[in-house]
Chains A and B, each alone.
Chain A
Amino acid sequence: MAVSVDEAVATGPARDHTPPARRRGGRGRSVLEVALLTLLAVVMLFPVLWMIETSIKENRDVYAIPAKFFDFTITLDHYRDVFVDPDGGRSALSVSFLNSVVVAGASTVLATVLGVPAAWAYSRFAVKAKKDQLFFILSTRFMPPVVVVIPIFLMYRQVGLIDNKLGLILIYSAFNVPFTIWMMKGFVDEVPAEYEDAAMLDGYTRLQAFRRFTLPLLVPGIAATAVFALIFSWNEFVFATFLTSSDDVRTAPPAIAGLIGGTTTDWGLVAAASVVFALPVLVFAYLVRKHLIAGVTLGAVRR
């Protein structure tokens, strides 16, 4: 993994000046670069900070003109509203969070169970037209969701999977399987096939060799892959919004988007819900940061 490697590419500029001048020029430039980086980091992070700030502001401070950056009253009311209904009991949002957990979890398990063995088989065996198959698998992942959702909608209407968690789980699995196969194939390729050959010389079957010797070595890779699948399913919006409608089934993304439907929008609540929704993703993404490049390119680019 290249990013976390703490080894400079080129340490400082090397110009054709005399040493002292060169050092001063280097420092001036270095300061400029640090300043530029800081500015960019602030710009990139400001919306996130503003979201967190809005989520703990009192309503009158949320809509203050000009915007209040520092002296506002802190409240956790919005967070309470995310989970608790005004009339008591669980809020619709908290139900949708629970649905998201179920849908994302189940689809990740299904994609892993189907994808990991397939990845192993693609890595180990001479499959006919292997490359074409793998490219076909990956290209299904690039289909525009809006196009896929039209026939899926009609299909689900026929079999009663509209507004059903199982319907979402299936379509998310189908979108995660290509990713799982590509990502896992990379991990399997890294485990020498000789381990299995040796085990088979000892009398194990191929399947046993896979289960007893290769699979344990793949566990970290499987975990990382599953985390990315989890994030994709958790964040997905298009299928969720078109294939579900009722509060009991709806996942969090369409539920949060639904908060802005009316005439007035409670932006404090939107911000709090967004923070609650985004926090697990950021934690999980941090856990798999070593595999981020492979993860976000669907396993296509590995370092």
Chain B
Amino acid sequence: MIALGKLHEFGHGVFGAFWPSVFIVVSTLIKIACIVAPLMLSVAYLTLLERKTIGGMQARLGPNRVGPFGLAQPLADGLKLLFKEIVIPSGADKAVFLAAPIFSIAPALAAWAVIPFDEGIVLADVNAALLYLMAVTSIGVYGVILAGWSSNSRYAFLGGMRSAAQLISYEIAMGLALIVVLMVSNSLSLGEIVKSQARGVFAQAGFSVFSWNWLSLFPVFVVYMVSIVAETNRAPFDMAEGESEIIGFHLEYSGLAFALFYMAEYASMILCATLAAILFLGGWLSPFSCFPNGFHWLFAKVFVILVFFFWIRATFPRYRYDQVMRLGWKVFIPVVLVWMAVVAAWMMSPLSVWK
């Protein structure tokens, strides 16, 4: 605190009356760096974790040549992509072509502004955080559609159309699932949503793990988990990439531009896993009251969900496109709509567990 006081004194000396605004800008930038830098590192090492996990499930070892246990593999991959040429196809819309990867990765990073890591540890404690999240993450679809369109390639264009349709379809199911969550927690702020999960019969008995939203909203939880797999374009819903038979929207991309799409996919994977942990698995709350709450619980939950993602990818074959659409529109949306009505009636009844 004394150090902070001296800093303010020094700042007033240098900037005078502008100091308060300068202080806010600089401290926010530092906070952003504190979130984005570890996030990018996690993105890099998530690729390694994925390759190791999937390798293990396919009875092989995964990368183990670069560095001890293959730990330098992400650096080698990044370096390789860094030195590759970004080929811009002739006839491509250059400005849009180069802007599309940014449209893809920016929302996945911007959404982290409202994610609470622990009680009060959040960059921007917006009271409409859930709305902000839904608004920001849906911008990602522009990256897909612009990349497909600006490439001047039929395959990329069709791939972009396909992925955009998939993303929009599953966004509806996901959005409806979020509505159910905000109904029961009576708040749009993520911090409040986490805190509301600490209340309940089980939480009072010391087993807060059963008071979290996943149990009371189980069908919604299942729909949400599958929707985020589809939303992040992960196998078995990876129509966007489909490297073995159909080709996706980033067909014409190479080098660092392609790496941005790749990083966007992994960043939004971490984001969606964190959201699932916050909305349904009690964020930073500890599962049993004998352990203290803390951000390590959030990280552990996110890790488990991410491994679950890889597990799904290693196990299931890719969905056919019409099956993806059928699942989204004819199964998930009706299920969530029905459960929304059920929850609404439940909340109004004397049996409500959310009082």
Chains A and B form a bound pair = no
State the B residues within 8 Å of A (CB). none
